[in-house]
Amino acid sequence: MRRPAGVGRPIRDGHRPGPGRAVHRRLRGADLDTTETRLSALGVVRPEPQPLAERWRVLLDPAGHPFCLTAK
């Protein structure tokens, strides 16, 4: 198990939440481009299309779970 930064409980590798068990995660960064670049180095990917990418980004963690990145 690994414990991602900012998350309170461990996530098992390969875990997929069941129906009704998904949690919306939102991270904030001072600069979207810089924060996304740092997250990309950790294995996060940016799916396309990205409407309103100047305000927020929907990203996928290495296991494929979506989360939002917003500016402070």
- Classify residue 68: in a domain, yes or no: no
- Classify residue 8: in a domain, yes or no: no
The per-residue DSSP string of 11-70 comes to: B-TT----TT-----EEEESSHHHHHHHHHTTT-B--S--TTTTTEEEEE-TTS-EEEEE
- Classify residue 33: in a domain, yes or no: yes
The total number of structural domains in the chain stands at 1
pTM of the model: 0.65
User: Given this model, what pLDDT does residue 25 score?
Assistant: 81
Q: In this structure, which amino acid lies at residue 34?
A: T
Distances (CA, A) of 56 to 8, 19, 27, 45, 61: 23, 25, 10, 14, 16
Domain that holds residue 29: 24-57
- Classify residue 7: in a domain, yes or no: no
User: Given this model, what pLDDT does residue 68 score?
Assistant: 92
pLDDT tens for the chain, 72 residues long, are 444 444 445 555 666 656 655 666 888 888 999 999 999 999 999 999 998 888 999 999 998 888 999 987
